[in-house]
Amino acid sequence: MNPESKTGVAPVYVKKHAKGATKEAVAGYLFAAPAIIGFLVLTLYPMLASLFYSFHKITILSGSQVMDWIGLDNYRYIFNNPSSEFKKSITVTLIYAFVNVALVIVFCLIVALLLNRKFISRNLLRAIFFLPSVVPMLATTIVWQMLLQNQAKGGLVNWLLLQLGIAPVEFLTDPIRIFETLFIMSLWTCGGTIVVFIATLQDVPGELLEAIEMDGGNAWHKFLKVTYPTIKPVLFFQLIMCMMTSIQIYTQSVVLSRNGAPDRMTYFINVMIYDHSFVQVGMRGLASAEAWIVFLITMVITGVLFYFQGSFKRDDSMGTRKRVRL
Amino acid sequence: MKFGKRNLALSLALTMAFSALAGCSGNSNNSGNAKNAATEAPKASEAAVDKKDVSAKDITLELLYWGDDVQKKLVEAAAEKYTADTGVKINAQVLPADGTFDTFIQTRLQSGELPDISYMGEGDIQKYNEMGILADISDLLKDGSIPEKLPAITIHSPEQKVIGVGLSNQMELLFYSKSKFDEAGVSYPPTKVEDAWDWDTFVANAKKLTKDSKGKTAADAGFDASLTENYGLGFTAGREFHHFWAANANGGGIVSPDGKEFQWDSPKSAEGIQKLADLVNKDKVASPFTYTWSTGIGSAVDALSGGYAMAISGSWDLANIKGNEDIGIGVLPKMEKAVTMNAGAPLVVYNTSKHIEEAKKFYAYMVNPENSLELLKSGAWLPNQADWYTDPALVDKWTADLPESAKETILSYSTAKDAIVQWPAYYVPAYLKMNTEYEKSIDQALSGKKTVKEIYDSIMPAIKKLWESGKVS
C-alpha cells in the first residue's frame, strides 16, 4: 500500500528519512572518529610540525628547545653541502627499493602460481613459505647474520664453504654482497605477498583457462590472456606497498652493520633521518627537511605508478563474459 | 526494544570516540614540552628552599639506568639499602643497554620529565651539558662527599665544572686462548705494561696463531689467507673507541688531555691506525676489519672459543670469562708506548631535579665502589677510585674471583704512569660530530680500499674545524 495516496504523509516520511540519514551520518562520523582523530593527531599534525621544523635549526639550551628560523638553509645543505650524505643515502635506498620490488613481485608471483596448482602437500608448502613472514624482521636479520657472518665468528655458510675447500664469501662486508644478503632476506620474508597473490589467483575464471587450453594455448598464454588481466589490480597494490616498505628499510641496516658500513652502502634514508633526529645534536631541523624530501620523492614515485595504473586495471571483458555466461 | 539499534550504534560510536580522545590526550600531568624543563631548574631551587622541612620519607628520587638482570638486582639492592638508611625512596627504572637509552632521555627531556639521576653514555655527556641540564657536582668532590676518583673517569665541562663521575673504569685489554697459544707454541702475552710485546713480536706471534683450513699458519710458506679458519686476532671495533688506543700507542693521539691540542691528524696517529688495518689487509692475521667494524666479534669468550686466538675487547668482558680456565688476559702490544684507552659510563645529576640536594647525596652514595662491589667482583666493572688499585685490603675486595692474569694486567695499567689514555668523548665538546665525520669514511681505510693517510687527508680539515668550534651542536 502506498501511504502517500491515502493519508498524504509523504512529507513527514521524507523528513523522518532525512532525520534518520543525518543520525546515520553522525553515527558514521562517530565510528570513524578514532581513525580521523588518530590521523589528525598522529599523522597530519606531526607532518605539518616537521615541515615547520624543516625551516629551523633546533637546539636545546638550558633544557629548553631553541628554534632558530633559517629559511631554506636545511634544504640548501642537503643539496649543496659536500658534507651532506643525502644524495648517497637516497641513491642506495632507491636502488635497493627498485631492485627489491622487482625481485619480490616476480618471486612471489611465481611461487603463488606454483602453489596454486593442485598437488600433494600443497598446504604444507604454503605454510612453509608463509611462516618466515610471521617472524619479526629483527629476529630474521639476526638469524641471517649468524648464518652469513665470518667463519671465525661461527658463520655457518662460510664454515661449510671452508670445509668444501671453497674460499668463504664476505656476505656482510662487501658493498655489493651486502645488497645480495638484503635481497635474500627480503625474499625470505615475503610470505604475506605470496598469500595475497594466491588468494587473488582463486579469482581467475577457470572456464577461461579451460577455453584457452581447448584452443591449444599453453601455460604462458593462459597467464598472459587470463591470469594477468585478472590479478592486475592486486599486483598494482602490492607494487605500491612493496615500494613503500622498501624505501622504509631500517632494521636490517641497524642490525647488520654500524654506521652504514660497508662504505655507507647501508646508510639508508631512514637510518640517516633517525641518526640526524635522535643521535646527532642540533640536526633535528635537517632531519625534518630530509624526511620531507623523501616524502616528496615517494609521492612522485607513487604518482608515476598511478599514472601507469591504467595498465593495471582489471580487464572488464573478463567480467562481461562471465556475466553473459551467468 | 526501545533502545534501538541506532541508539546503540550512537552509544558505541561515542564510547569509541571518547576512548580515542582519552588515548590521545595521555596523562595531563605528563604532557608538556621542552619549556617545562627550562622552568624546572628555578623551580628545583625554590623547591629545595620551600621544602626543607619536608621529611625524607616524602621524597622519591628517580634513577634511570641500563643493565642486565645482574645489574638490575644490584642497583635495586643498593637503592633499597639507601631507602632503609635515609628514608628517601628511590624509583629505579632500568632500560636496555643500547642506543635506545639516549633516545629515551631525549624523549623525557622533551616532555619535561627528566629523572633526578641517570647513567649516561660517555659520548653523550658533553651534549647534555651543552643543553644545560646537568648539575655541577664539584661541591661533592670538594666537601669530600665523594672521595677523589680516578682522573680518567672524572668528567669536566669546558668551564672545568665536574659534571659526572664514571661508575666504572673500563679499559681495553688483550684476551687470549691459552690452549691455542699452547698448541702454536707461543708464550702468553705479558701482564705488565713494561713487558708489553713490541709490534713486530705481536705480529709475528699473531701469524703463528693464524691457520688456514689445511693447517698451515700465516708464518708458513704456502699459507692460503682466503681459506683462513682461525685468526690470530679479532677486534671488537664496533666503535672508534676500540682502535683509538693505537693512535696514542704510536705516539699520536686524538685530542690532548687538556683539550688544547688537536692530534688526530698527526702522521703518528694515522700510522697507528694503519698498523691495525695492516693486520687485516697486509699481515692477514685478523678477520676483515669491516666485519668487526660492522658487527663486533661478540664477547671475548665467543671469539676465543670460535676462530680467534686473541681478541682485543673491553674489560667488561671479564664478567663473561668467569670459570673459563682457557682464557687469559694481557696488556695490549706496544708501538712507541704501551697504553690502553679507558671508558666507563658516568652517572649524572639533572639540574631539573626537584630535590637536587637529596639527589646529590644519593649520587655520592651510588658512585661509592662499596655499593657496586658485586659488579666489581664479577669483573663487569672496575673501581673508579684510585685507592682501590693501591690499598691491598681494597684490592683484595674485588680481585679475588678474577683470573690472576686479569688482576695483574689491570693493576699494572692502573698504577703505571700514563698507561691509560682518557677517551676524548669525555672532554671534547664537538666529539660526537667529529666522530660522525670520522666513521663515515674510515672503514674504507680499515678494509684496505684506501690508506689511512688518504682518508685522513680528505676528512681531517673538516674534523679539525668542528673541534675548533668547541661546541657540541
A214 within a domain of the structure (yes/no): yes
Q: Which residues of B touch A167 (CB under 8 A)?
A: 226-227
State whether residue B240 sits within 8 Å of chain A by CB: no
State whether residue A30 sits within 8 Å of chain B by CB: yes
A22 and A171 part of one domain: no
pLDDT at A82: 82
pLDDT at A316: 54
pLDDT band at B7 (very low <50, low <70, confident <90, very high): low
CATH code assigned at A159: 1.10.3720.10
Of B164, B306, B315, the residue nearest B242 (C-alpha): B315
A242 within a domain of the structure (yes/no): yes
A32 and A139 part of one domain: no
The answer, yes or no, to whether residue B294 has pLDDT greater than 50, is: no
pLDDT at B34: 37
State whether residue B109 sits within 8 Å of chain A by CB: yes
A78 within a domain of the structure (yes/no): no
A320 and A176 part of one domain: yes
Q: Which residues of A touch B229 (CB under 8 A)?
A: 151-152, 162
Of A272, A82, A281, the residue nearest B430 (C-alpha): A281
A31 and A88 part of one domain: no
A158 and A216 part of one domain: yes
pLDDT band at B441 (very low <50, low <70, confident <90, very high): confident
Mean pLDDT of B211-233: 94
State whether residue A27 sits within 8 Å of chain B by CB: yes
pLDDT at A196: 93
Which of B:16-45 have CB within 8 Å of A? 16-17, 19-21, 24, 33-35, 37-38, 40-41
Q: Which residues of B touch A20 (CB under 8 A)?
A: 6
Which candidate from A31, A145, A170 shows the least CB-CB separation from B13? A31
Q: Which three cell numbers stand for residue A1?
A: 500500500
Which candidate from A150, A263, A278 shows the least CB-CB separation from B103? A278
A296 within a domain of the structure (yes/no): yes
pLDDT at A213: 85
State whether residue A259 sits within 8 Å of chain B by CB: yes
Residues B401-430 have pLDDT tens digits of 899 999 999 999 988 988 999 899 888 988
Please measure the distance between the N-terminal and C-terminal CA atoms of chain B and give it in whole angstroms.
Answer: 67
A56 within a domain of the structure (yes/no): no
State whether residue B136 sits within 8 Å of chain A by CB: no
The answer, yes or no, to whether residue A321 has pLDDT greater than 80, is: no
Handedness of CA B270, B273, B277, B279 (dihedral sign): positive
What is the predicted ipTM? 0.73
Please indicate whether, in this complex, the C-beta atoms of B213 and A162 are within 8 angstroms of each other.
yes
For the ranges B87-91, B157-161, B179-183, B269-273, which has the lowest average pLDDT? B157-161
pLDDT band at A18 (very low <50, low <70, confident <90, very high): low
Residues B304-340 have pLDDT tens digits of 888 999 999 888 888 888 888 999 999 999 999 999 9
How many domains, in total, are found in chain A?
Answer: 2
Mean pLDDT of B10-26: 47
Please indicate whether, in this complex, the C-beta atoms of A152 and B132 are within 8 angstroms of each other.
no
A302 within a domain of the structure (yes/no): yes
pLDDT at A14: 55
Average pLDDT for chain B: 84
Which candidate from B239, B287, B433 shows the least CB-CB separation from A150? B287
A36 and A165 part of one domain: no
pLDDT at A72: 94
A32 and A93 part of one domain: no
Distance from CA of A183 to the nearest CA of B (A): 19
A192 within a domain of the structure (yes/no): yes
pLDDT at A306: 82
pLDDT at B457: 95
Q: Which residues of B touch A256 (CB under 8 A)?
A: 294-295
pLDDT at B5: 58
A321 and A231 part of one domain: yes
A17 and A87 part of one domain: no
Please indicate whether, in this complex, the C-beta atoms of B293 and A258 are within 8 angstroms of each other.
yes
Residues B78-131 have pLDDT tens digits of 889 899 989 999 999 998 766 678 888 888 888 888 999 999 988 888 888 888
A31 and A89 part of one domain: no
Residues B226 and B233: their CA atoms lie apart, in Å, by 16
Which candidate from B6, B287, B443 shows the least CB-CB separation from A263? B443
pTM: 0.80
Domain hosting residue A285, numbered range: 83-325
Q: Which residues of B touch A263 (CB under 8 A)?
A: 443-444, 447, 449
- For chain B, the three-class secondary structure string (H helix, E strand, C coil) is CCCCHHHHHHHHHHHHHHHHHHHHHCCCCCCCCHHHHHHHHHHHHHHHHHCCCCCHHHCEEEEEEECCHHHHHHHHHHHHHHHHHHCCEEEEEEECCCCHHHHHHHHHHHCCCCCCEEECCHHHHHHHHHCCCECCCHHHHHCCCCCCECHHHEEECCCCCEEEEECCCEEEEEEEEHHHHHHHCCCCCCCCHHHCCEHHHHHHHHHHHCEECCCCECCCCCCCHHHEEEEEEEECCCCCHHHHHHHHHCCCCCECCCCCCECCCCHHHHHHHHHHHHHHHCCCCECCHHHHHHHCCCCHHHHHHCCEEEEEEEHHHHHHCCCCCCEEEECCCECCCCCEEEECCEEEEECCCCCHHHHHHHHHHHCCHHHHHHHHHHCCCCCCECHHHHCHHHHHHHHCCCCHHHHHHHHHHHHCCCCEEECHHHCCCCHHHHHHHHHHHHHHHHCCCCCHHHHHHHHHHHHHHHHHHCCCC
State whether residue A31 sits within 8 Å of chain B by CB: yes
More confident site: B259 or B472: B259
A201 and A311 part of one domain: yes
pLDDT at B206: 97
State whether residue B315 sits within 8 Å of chain A by CB: no
Distance from CA of B350 to the nearest CA of A (A): 10
State whether residue B305 sits within 8 Å of chain A by CB: no
Which of A:84-113 have CB within 8 Å of B? 85
pLDDT band at B26 (very low <50, low <70, confident <90, very high): very low
Q: Which residues of A touch B351 (CB under 8 A)?
A: 63
A149 within a domain of the structure (yes/no): yes
The answer, yes or no, to whether residue B261 has pLDDT greater than 90, is: yes
Q: Which residues of A touch B231 (CB under 8 A)?
A: 152
pLDDT at B296: 55
A281 and A196 part of one domain: yes
Most confident of A170-174, A277-281, A318-322, B194-198: B194-198
